[in-house]
């Protein structure tokens, strides 16, 4: 080993946020360590070049309360590059966990999803989001030398819509024999309230994200997005994904947005525009409930069909957009509360878009939580504020058993504790899924671009992977990706926040 190589190896430094490379020299055989040193030198050179890229100007990252906060700004390509660069380790990790789940549930290989992304989704993605997605690939590759390309990243961004909406539609169309029993997901408990329902008469909005713990433990990003065009955005999200996707976000024109997914929704339009693109676009460009609705309807592909809960802090009005594919309905009020827990309620949407869903089954997770929202919100009419909303997100009242018991029927979901699972979503008994994090905000906080967020179960309970897997070997396939999900504190985040504060 010569001196220059030694010097080169010595300059390998931990680059950013603790993820980096190292070289241990003296103990290893000469040839192996020389090779390691060369690889490390190349990686260091690549990271130095990436770190000095002008596109990173203004971007930043810090961690707090179990969340990773990133600030992205500028034109779409630059914001993508910042996203890919700042979250590179988390994107690689999240991609591995998510893509494994997509292949496992659908029994399709990754090439299938790449093809769907390339041929079906990409041509209909607006140019600015194509640039942002390509930017993510560029930033990621510059930082880590990743081999992921834009088809991988587009398929990954569509992880809520391709496996559970497109594939079942395709299986039915192809009359696929022995097709897996795929169900649209049931993500979340949420409400938005206004007028006489809240303490200050203004809007309060809250949401907890229900998903499998494998993905949910990784759903820990707070995105502060300052785009060249459109409104400033503060939202939670998943590393590598351009929409919030669970969804919870506010924008600088006062729009407040969340949703819960429609259980047993069926349908897909291959000529439509990806849901993750429409959802991101609507949060970036809509300043009113009407504008939001218009963007979501434009090119509706049926993917990740949700009941959108909306608020406009400028008018105090709230809305619920039940967005089926064949039908949809918009309710709105300046004095009321709109709650969601994965059920549709418009008779037409129920009939044409969710033919299997039974609104009369009081014991199902969506309907039991619907009853609980009704009782809890009525009990607290006129008292609802952000602090109370945080408590509600951690509620464990089971309306069927009429007792406290964290399970699939409680607003704070713990399906890993349920011998019933959730058959409507094809979640088997003790499925490792439920509420994985929570967020809340109100009109005043939205004006100041602030939200509260808690990572992990909103009740504060921890999920521990090792004892769970020991007790439930049927989920052993998740072992490489299933991690502990420990609850953090309720933490405030705001636009333009810096790490020192
Ligand atoms: Zn809980």
- DSSP state for residue 166 in the 8-state scheme: I
**What 3-state DSSP class applies to 20?**
coil
- Ligand 1 centroid – CA 485 distance (Å): 12
* Beta bridge pairs of residue 159: none
What are 259-280's pLDDT values in tens digits?
A: 999 999 999 999 999 999 999 9
- Ligand 1 centroid – CA 204 distance (Å): 21
- Ligand 1 centroid – CA 203 distance (Å): 25
Residues in the chain: 501
- Ligand 1 centroid – CA 245 distance (Å): 21
H helices within 442-481, ranges in order?
443-447, 465-471
C-alpha span between 340 and 75 (Å, rounded): 35
Q: What is the pLDDT of residue 488?
A: 98
Asked whether 68 and 127 are in contact (CB, 8 A), the reply is no
- Ligand 1 centroid – CA 306 distance (Å): 23
Among left, alpha and beta (phi > 0; psi -120 to 50; other), residue 58 is: left
* Spans of the chain below 70 pLDDT: 1-30, 500-501
Q: What is the pLDDT of residue 24?
A: 37
C-alpha span between 465 and 483 (Å, rounded): 5
What are 37-58's pLDDT values in tens digits?
A: 888 888 888 888 888 899 999 9
Q: Which CA distances in Å does 213 have to 104, 435, 465?
A: 15, 8, 9
Q: What is the pLDDT of residue 30?
A: 57
Asked whether 169 and 271 are in contact (CB, 8 A), the reply is no
- Ligand 1 centroid – CA 448 distance (Å): 29
Q: Return mean pLDDT, the chain.
A: 93
- Ligand 1 centroid – CA 251 distance (Å): 29
- Ligand 1 centroid – CA 339 distance (Å): 18
Q: DSSP for 209-250, please give it.
A: EEEEHHHHTT--EEEEEEESSS--EEEEE-TT-SS-SS-EEE
φ/ψ (deg, to 5) at 433: -155, 165
C-alpha span between 177 and 129 (Å, rounded): 37
Secondary element (H or E) of residue 347: helix 347-353
């Amino acid at each position: 080993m010569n001196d220059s190589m030694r010097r080169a190896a010595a300059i390998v430094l931990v680059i950013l946020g603790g993820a980096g490379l190292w070289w241990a020299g003296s103990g290893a055989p000469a040839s192996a360590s020389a090779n390691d040193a060369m690889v490390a030198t190349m990686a260091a050179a690549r990271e130095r070049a990436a770190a000095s890229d002008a596109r990173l100007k203004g971007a930043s990252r810090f961690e707090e309360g179990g969340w990773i906060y990133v600030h992205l700004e500028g034109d779409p390509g630059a914001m993508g590059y910042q996203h890919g660069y700042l979250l590179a380790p988390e994107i690689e990790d999240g991609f591995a966990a998510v893509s494994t789940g997509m292949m496992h549930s659908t029994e399709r290989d990754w090439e299938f999803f790449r093809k769907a992304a390339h041929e079906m989704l990409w041509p209909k993605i607006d140019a600015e989001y194509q640039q942002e997605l390509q930017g993510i690939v560029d930033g990621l590759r510059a930082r880590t030398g990743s081999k992921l390309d834009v088809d991988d990243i587009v398929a990954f961004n569509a992880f809520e819509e391709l496996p559970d909406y497109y594939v079942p539609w395709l299986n039915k169309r192809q009359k696929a024999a022995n097709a897996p029993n795929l169900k649209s997901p049931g993500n979340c408990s949420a409400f938005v309230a206004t007028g006489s329902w809240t303490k200050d008469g203004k809007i309060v909005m809250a949401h907890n994200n229900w998903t499998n713990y494998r993905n949910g433990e990784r759903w820990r990003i707070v995105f502060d997005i300052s785009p060249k065009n459109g409104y400033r955005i503060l939202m939670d999200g998943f590393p590598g994904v351009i929409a919030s996707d669970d969804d919870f976000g506010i924008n600088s024109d006062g729009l407040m947005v969340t949703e819960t997914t429609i259980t047993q929704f069926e349908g897909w339009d291959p000529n439509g525009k990806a849901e993750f693109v429409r959802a991101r676009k609507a949060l970036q460009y809509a300043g009113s409930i009407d504008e939001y609705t218009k963007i979501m309807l434009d090119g509706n592909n049926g993917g990740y069909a949700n009941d959108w809960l909306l608020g406009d802090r400028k008018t105090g009005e709230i809305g619920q957009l039940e967005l089926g594919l064949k039908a949809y309905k918009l309710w709105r009020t300046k004095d009321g509360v709109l709650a969601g827990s994965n059920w549709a309620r418009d008779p037409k949407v129920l009939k044409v878009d969710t033919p299997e869903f039974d609104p009369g089954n009081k014991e199902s997770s969506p309907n039991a939580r619907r009853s609980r929202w009704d009782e809890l919100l009525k009990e607290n009419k006129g008292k609802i504020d952000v602090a109370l909303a945080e408590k509600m997100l951690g509620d464990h009242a089971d309306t069927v058993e009429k007792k406290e018991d964290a399970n699939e029927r409680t607003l704070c979901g713990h399906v890993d504790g349920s011998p019933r699972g959730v058959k409507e979503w094809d979640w088997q008994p003790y499925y490792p899924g439920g509420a994985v994090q929570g967020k809340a905000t109100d009109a005043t906080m939205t004006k100041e671009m602030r939200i509260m967020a808690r990572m992990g179960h909103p009740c504060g309970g921890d999920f521990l992977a090792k004892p769970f897997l020991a007790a439930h070997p049927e989920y052993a396939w998740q072992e490489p990706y299933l991690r502990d999900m420990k609850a953090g504190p309720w933490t405030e985040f705001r636009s333009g926040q810096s790490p020192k504060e």
